[in-house]
Each structure stands twice: as C-alpha cells, then as structure tokens.
A and B are shown apart, each in its own frame.
Chain A
Amino acid sequence: AQSVTQLGSHVSVSEGALVLLRCNYSSSVPPYLFWYVQYPNQGLQLLLKYTSAATLVKGINGFEAEFKKSETSFHLTKPSAHMSDAAEYFCAVSDQRNNDMRFGAGTRLTVKP
C-alpha cells in the first residue's frame, strides 16, 4: 500500500529564511505526489503536484518541490519564508490506479518575525 511520511511535525523558521519540509513516500507503482496547505479553520488547498512530467514542480506562493526517485522523496521548499506561510502542510500520494489519496501526518510551519 502506498504511504507518505513527513519528517518533523513542527518546523520553525525566521521570516526570510529557507523553508524545507520533508516528505518521503512508499509506493509499489509510480506515484503521483501532492503538497496541500491548510490555514487555520480552513480546508486543504493544493500547493503543487507531481504527475510524472518534470521532476521539479513549481506551485503557488513561491513553493516548489523536487521528485527524487532514488531517495523516494518529495521535499517542499521555499527560498524565503513569509509570515503568511504559517500553516499546516500535508504531503499526499496517489497512483495511476485511482485517486485514493493517502495523506501524511502533516507539518506545522511557524514563521518567526
């Protein structure tokens, strides 16, 4: 069965610093990978997704992620954190068989002034 593991339930960075949120996947077939963001009291919204085209994927709000098959990773990065980036981030995996998406436990990002 496919799954994702997010390393670090909490990440704290200073405003302007690099954001790195880690996600490793496990899948017996080529995966499709997603990053979603959840702001307080809201539903999840898509940041970006990897669907087997380019391995470096750019998303909204300056975020990007790189699919690395050799490392089974799909880490999310942003060069310079903004206060508005404070939220919970979820990595998710699905595959060509269906849209039964499996989510990681989430990483809460705090941005310090």
Chain B
Amino acid sequence: DARVTQTPRDKVTEMGQEVTMRCQPILGHNTVFWYRQTMMQGLELLAYFRNRAPLDDSGMPKDRFSAEMPDATLATLKIQPSEPRDSAVYFCASGPGLAGTDTQYFGPGTRLTVL
C-alpha cells in the first residue's frame, strides 16, 4: 500500500530555531506539493515541484522558508528562523503528474509548534 510519509509527525521548538520537515513521496510520482493548515487560514499551498524542479513557491514566505528536493525520494521544507506564527500542520502531497485531473495523495502531516 503505497503512501506518502512525513517526518517528524510532531515538532515542538523555540522561536528562532531552524526546523526541517521531510517528505517521501510515493514511488513513481513526479509532483510534490507542500501545504500548511491552520484554523484561521485553512489549507494553503506553499510550493510545488515537478521532476524535482520548483514550479511555484509563491505561497511561501521567502525570507524564512525554503523547499527543496535533493532527490526523487525526498522533499524538504525548512524554516529558519522559526516564529510562533509558523505553528501549523504541514502536509506534503504527491501526484503522478500535473494534469488538473490528477489526484494528490497526502501524507499524515507534521504538526509544528513554535513556542
């Protein structure tokens, strides 16, 4: 049963610290999406990649957030320095392509708390 995995599942850190979240997409999927979910804003698209190349990161605060795909099996989302307002659940999703009809498969999320 192929699924997207994310680590860590929970992260508590102090303001100013660096946070790295990791995602392993489903094998064979060539698109990866990062979302952030909060009570106030709902689900927000932060960035997405195709074939490891970033296509759109306009939803991401550029000064502190960065997203990369070092290889086809790993996507990372980094926050440096972290702030309390970054507290949220971060989801990674992968898909087989970029067609509008393609289903996105979500990981279980990383719950980030910044104190």
* Residues of A that sit less than 8 Å from B by CB: 32, 34, 36, 41-46, 49, 51, 90, 94-106
**Number of contacts between A and B (CB, 8 Å)?**
60
One of A43, A90, A95, A99 near B107 (C-beta < 8 A): A43
Complex Cα–Cα for A68 and B110 (A): 36
A101 and chain B: residue at smallest CB distance:
B104
Q: Distance (Å) between the CB of A45 and the closest chain B CB? A: 7
Residues of B within 8 A of A (CB): 4, 31, 33, 42-43, 45, 48, 56, 91, 93, 95, 97-109
Residue pair A32, B100 in contact (C-beta under 8 Å): yes
A49 touches B101 (CB 8 A): yes
Q: Across the interface, which residues of A come within 8 angstroms of B101, CB to CB?
A: 32, 49, 51, 94
The answer to whether B4 touches A43 (Cβ under 8 A) is: yes
CB-based contact B100/A43 at 8 Å: no
